Amino acid sequence: MRFAVIMAGGTGKRLWPLSREDRPKQVLRLLDGETLLRRCFQRLSSLFDHRNIIVLTNKGYSDLVRENLPEIPFDNVIAEPIVRDTAGAIGLAASVLSRFDPDATMAVVTADQVIKPADVFRQALADGMTCVEKNPDALITFGIQPSFPSTQLGYIKLGKSQACPECNNKIFEVEAFKEKPDLATAKEYLASGEYCWNSGLFVWKAKRVLELLFENLPQAKQPLQKIQAAWGGSHQEETLAEYFVKLPKISIDFAVMEKAPAVSAIKLNCRWFDMGSFSALADIIQSDAGGNIVVANQSEIFDCEDSIFVTEDKNHLIAAIGLKDMVVVHSPDATFVCPVDKTQKLKELLELIREHGKEQYL
């Protein structure tokens, strides 16, 4: 059976003060009143039975996720008791799925991405599942055709391609995974035409990714087997709390993908954005005549250029005069103002807020 696993555990510190420790970026209503999580679910809903869509999130976010996605069963929201990076989260999901369906095909997507058009994504995901079902040992990732030399994203180098029967997309060999490069290297990657951005999207058999996790990360084997054995029973949550914390904190790329004997990729020829910062809104939302991005129900923007104004409060008026290359973000208890080219310092600002004893704003 086919299952989708939505990874929805990130906090999104670069979207403060809208995103908070108890309100992550995937539930912010920045997309015409909808959330990133909701848009992700909508992309999947025509491919998967709603009962086969699982959401992995942090313990503190589970109620927000259920409120945002009332269509999926209550138990399909799995709350991780502590952050353990993507290898632990994917291992948990694979353990649960393979307990109830040993032949489960597992698509892993993330809740904080914007992908357009959705039909291109759905076709690629369907092709990935078809390929895995014909080749149960296969691991499929998805590469994004780069549109500029990004230094904030990892890359994958693609090799030879081959046709997959019953698939619309070609399947490429993955020759190498590359970490975030410097600008000169990113330009070389772009010019070569051999590299794609690493999307963090995957398709595989649940039992296969578990086999590779146990082989390459043996310290994960006992905790995941304990959790799997208890899942669905009266000691499920108790066992999850006891053993999940014992999982190594490592990404699935480092733990499995870079060591796996054969990894394949499908190119996603579409617009793809990782919603990691306010500047990313410029890729999603149409700017006004002055190049300003305005996410506000009520606004009066006069003589401003290339600035970003954001509020989720439908009754709050954002008014500005003469700003250029600035970010202004309003929330009920905090306002953030910063030059666009200084937003990378936001994490340092949050550390100062914590050091000064103002944790209630985090």
Please give the domain boundaries of the chain with CATH numbers for all domains: 2-274 (3.90.550.10), 283-361 (no CATH)
For residues 172 and 131, give the distance between their C-alpha atoms in angstroms, rounded to a whole number: 12
Give me the tens of pLDDT residue by residue for the chain, a chain 362 residues long. Answer: 999 999 997 766 788 898 887 788 888 877 777 888 999 999 999 999 999 999 999 888 899 999 999 999 999 999 999 888 899 999 999 999 999 999 999 999 998 888 888 899 999 999 999 999 999 999 999 999 888 888 888 999 999 988 888 888 999 999 989 998 999 999 999 999 899 999 999 999 999 999 999 999 999 999 999 999 999 999 999 999 999 999 999 999 899 998 898 899 999 888 887 776 787 777 778 889 999 999 888 999 999 999 999 998 889 999 999 999 999 999 999 999 999 988 888 889 999 999 999 988 88
Copy the structure tokens of residue 312: 């989720």
Determine contact, residues 152/179, Cβ cutoff 8 Å.
Answer: no
Report the relative pairing of strands 264-268 and 171-178 from DSSP bridges: antiparallel
pLDDT score, position 164 = 82
Q: Judge contact between 178 and 221, C-beta under 8 A.
A: no
Question: What pLDDT does 166 receive?
Answer: 86
Quote the CA–CA distance of 308 and 215 in Å, as a whole number: 47
Q: Which two tokens stand for residue 304?
A: 């401003």
Q: How far is CA 79 from the centre of its chain?
A: 16
Residue matched to tokens 């759905």: 122
Helix or strand (DSSP H, E) at 66: helix 62-68
* Count of all residues that appear for the chain in the document: 362
User: Which tokens go with 175?
Assistant: 């020759």
Which parts of 135-220 fold into alpha helices (H)?
Answer: 183-192, 206-216
Match 């990130």 to its residue by tokens. Answer: 10
- Residue 362 CA to residue 354 CA, distance in Å, equals 8
- Its sign, for the CA torsion 202, 203, 206, 210, is negative
Q: Do 294 and 268 touch, CB atoms closer than 8 A?
A: no
- CA-to-CA dists, residue 352 to 102, 186, 194, 337, 355, angstroms: 48, 32, 42, 16, 5
pLDDT reported for residue 201: 94
Contact 162, 286 (CB under 8 A): no
5 DSSP 8-state letter: E
Q: What is the pLDDT of residue 115?
A: 87
Paired tokens of 331? 């929330």
**Nearest Cα to 94, choosing from 7, 202, 209?**
209
Encoded tokens for 337: 């103002």
CB-based contact 328:262 (threshold 8 Å):
no
Say what the pLDDT of residue 304 is. Answer: 96
The DSSP code for 246 is G
